[in-house]
Structure 1
Amino acid sequence: MRFLLYSINYAPELTGIGKYNGELAPDLVARGIKTDVITAPPYYPEWLVHKGFKNSYSATLSDEGVNIYRCPLYVPAEVTTVKRLLHLASFALSSGVRLLSLWRTKPDVLFLVQPTLFCAPFALLFCKLTGAKSIMHIQDFEVDAMFGLGMGGEGQFKGFARSVESWLLKRFDVVSSISYSMLENARSKGVAEDRLMFFPNWADTSFVTPDNDGSALKKEWGFNQDDKIVLYAGNIGKKQGLEIVLSAAQAFQSNHQVHFVLVGSGAHCDVLQADAAARHLTNVHFKPLQPWARVPEMLALADIHLVVQKKGAADAVLPSKLTNILSAGGHALVTAESQTELGVIAAKFPDIYTCVEPEDVQLFTAALQQLLNKDLCATNQIARDYAVEYLSKETVLSRFEQDVQQLCGREAK
């Protein structure tokens, strides 16, 4: 079998979609599936092409045996709605040229990751020419996210965008996504039930465990061992609404043992740092993204983990950072509306994490205080058990291989 992964994000990006794609492709090769990747040069979440990479066409064979075809794109220094659309469109055009040049490779499956939906017409045309099965994998409903965060306007344009989205989705052989609520969303957009596939993000439960020790990193970052660490790690973008963390930190200024650590980078990072400085928040600390090898000890140093999003984003963007928090047996404070996937899971498994409504500073701060008053030394074993049962990398990827082989009329080895 030959598998073509088509996505704007790929390794060595350390967060989000790029990280998962960078683990998926080598795993498929290890399972005996020839795998090619069409992607962009790494740029996320810094919104800057990484050192050692050029913003141009290239083709390389990775150490794991993955053929990687990188395509140039426009990377805005300052991200706005218009510039983001140009960014996505530029990759669709450059990668579309590369994609059509590979039609002779005759893949059995083309796996397009959304974002970006802009690539869907090229993907569908390619599958028509080659006979490949088409899978649209939705990590983010980018149309929903855009309108949910007030970035796309209203009226006729909104209706037109949703109509185009629905038309495209219905033409893929399979539409997969990372949560059941997102699959329900796809169903509401007209995708038939027998074309839906559940493919969640996973955790490396053998690498990220409650047994990891964060004391060395805690000392390295200048904290005392009895300090309480409230950790946010991941993309620092507009959709996270991390201003609520600064407001909570302001409320805890008099408690010198509580420190808020934000690890990551992104388009909104400079704005957030300037805001923290303007508020004179000495208990807020910004750290760069950590290499994957240090992620377990970074998670281990936290007393409380934060999974923060604005209203309207939770079912369009299910935060991937939560999987590793659960795997580490961590205690998380999550902002999500009650009807979203995160809200439903919290109601069903109340001991996994604490969930509050987004953008409510008072509720968020009160929940944080309540968690800090608890004895959090022990592992959240319920969270760990949930991760092992539902989010294990081996379990998720083995099931995905079976689903893909079945789509092609084969049996997994």
Structure 2
Amino acid sequence: MHILFLTDNFPPEGNAPATRTYEHAVRWLQAGHKVTVITCVPNFPEGKVFDGYKNSWYQTHHLDGINVVRVKTFITANEGFVKRILDYMSFMVTGFIAGLFQKKPDVIVATSPQFFCAFAGWALSAVRRKPFIFELRDIWPASITAVGAMKDSLAIRFLEKIELFLYRRSDSIVSVTHAFKAELIERGIDGEKIEVVLNGVDLTKYKPTASKDADLAKQYDLEGKFVAGYIGTHGMAHGLEHIVDVAERLQDYDDIRVVFAGGGATRQKVVDLIEKKKLKNVVLIDRQPKDMMPKLWSLCNVSLVPLVNNDLFKTVIPSKIFECMGMGIPTVMSVPEGEATTIIKETGSGLVVESENVEQIANAVLKLYQDNELYLSIRSKSVEAAPKYSRELMARSLLNIFRTYKK
């Protein structure tokens, strides 16, 4: 089977969509299938082309056996509604054109979070008369208004009409959460064609470690420190100003450090707040290559997983919780009560507190710092839960869906 996959994020980008697609694709190859990924030049989240790449109209290369086709797009940082729309629409056009030249695909898959990529996938499926699988990673454009990037308007309602059109025209929808499936059914989408395949963890890379990576710990002066880390994209949805406030509350504890690692639209805001508050217990680490992530995670005793207090985020499952399970890192989750908090509670892999509640987040970190028996118990339960969310299982589930719709 030849799987043609459209996504505007792919390694060496290290965000969740890029990681999910890559880790599934290498397993589809191992199962004997051909995979072609159409994507753009790596630039997320800073909106700057990565070293060694050029924003060219059409270029191809192989990554661990995956046939990667990169197309030219309008590139901008992950901020500003109009510029981002231009970015998305440019990939929709160039990705569609590139898809016309790929030989004999059996299924066409396109992923969100934004649906312009999915629109290109649907258009290709219509022209080439192949099944279209819509991988739904976010309810977009609702997430735009949820983070305050844009108010409800005629433009948003127009985008929602396109969104519903794509849901209806897809042969199958693969949702990354059960909550997304429930919401789509409430909006009139046929539940029979919606499957749920959660995010997961590559257990060949993310394993429990007894100590911090020695070189990184020395470089960032984290030897012998209890580290609460926020690792990942610094976006509007995460409310990282509250984590800066958490660091301020913890500054009297000499052995505790708060780490911010990554980049994104609100990275500079975080840096500015730290400087304004003159915090000495915060360590800033720039965005790292994906292959550095297990070493980066090894620095953390606790993972901080925040989202702003908006009802939309009740339906979101931050994918980093699965990497933390794989490495045995307890999670302090401060997101609206929903599917993600249920996973943490049922697996016992962390502590759940109120979204944006600085006092509760700080107290949860202190609880894990001071209660070693509790810490070791949660660590053990995290490792025990990880195999339920292995990439191997998720990749196999997706293949079964593709086989169902292959013509």
TM-score between both structures, scaled by the size of structure 2: 0.93
> How is 1:145-294 mapped onto 2 (pairs within 5 angstroms)?
145-211=143-209, 213-217=211-215, 219-223=217-221, 225-294=223-292
Shift of 1:171: 0.8
Q: 1:314 touches 1:342 (CA, 8 Å); kept in 2?
A: no
Deviations 1:114-161 (A, max 9, x none): 133113333222212222111000122221211211223125444333
What residue number does 1:358 align with?
Answer: 355
State the secondary structure of the residue aligned to 2:4.
strand
Tell me, in whole angstroms, the C-alpha distance in 1 between the residues paired with 2:220 and 2:40.
Answer: 37
What residue number does 1:57 align with?
Answer: 57
The structure-2 alpha-carbon separation of the partners of 1:368 and 1:397, relative to structure 1 and needing over 3 Å to count, comes to same
**Could you say what the CA RMSD is over the residues aligned between the two structures, in angstroms?**
2.1
What residue number does 1:67 align with?
Answer: 67
Deviations 1:266-287 (A, max 9, x none): 1221221111111101111111
- Partner AA of 1:352 in structure 2: S
> How is 1:312-323 mapped onto 2 (pairs within 5 angstroms)?
312=310, 314-315=313-314, 317-323=316-322
Tell me, in whole angstroms, the C-alpha distance in 2 between the residues paired with 1:158 and 1:223.
Answer: 47
Deviations 1:326-363 (A, max 9, x none): 1111111111111x2112223434x2221222222222
What residue number does 1:334 align with?
Answer: 333
Aligned residues: 404
Tell me, in whole angstroms, the C-alpha distance in 2 between the residues paired with 1:197 and 1:167.
Answer: 18
Shift of 1:292: 3.8
- Partner AA of 1:22 in structure 2: Y
Q: 2:198 touches 2:394 (CA, 8 Å); kept in 1?
A: yes
Tell me, in whole angstroms, the C-alpha distance in 1 between the residues paired with 2:316 and 2:74.
Answer: 23
State the secondary structure of the residue aligned to 2:259.
strand
Q: 2:2 touches 2:34 (CA, 8 Å); kept in 1?
A: yes
State the secondary structure of the residue aligned to 2:313.
coil
- Partner AA of 1:87 in structure 2: D
Q: Which stretch of structure 1 is more off in the superposition, 314-323 or 202-211?
A: 314-323
Q: Give unmatched runs, 5+ long, in structure 1.
A: none
1:88 aligns with 2:85: no
Shift of 1:174: 0.5
Q: Which stretch of structure 1 is more off in the superposition, 5-14 or 211-220?
A: 211-220
TM-score between both structures, scaled by the size of structure 1: 0.91
Shift of 1:262: 1.0
Among 137, 140, 149, the residue aligned to 1:139: 137
Identical amino acids, percent of aligned pairs: 23
What residue number does 2:32 align with?
Answer: 32
1:13 aligns with 2:6: no
Shift of 1:5: 0.5
Tell me, in whole angstroms, the C-alpha distance in 2 between the residues paired with 1:306 and 1:10.
Answer: 25
Q: Which stretch of structure 1 is more off in the superposition, 309-318 or 253-262?
A: 309-318
Shift of 1:254: 1.5
Q: Which stretch of structure 1 is more off in the superposition, 273-282 or 395-404?
A: 395-404
1:394 aligns with 2:392: yes
Tell me, in whole angstroms, the C-alpha distance in 2 between the residues paired with 1:91 and 1:212.
Answer: 43
State the secondary structure of the residue aligned to 1:314.
helix
Q: Give unmatched runs, 5+ long, in structure 2.
A: none
- Partner AA of 2:379 in structure 1: N
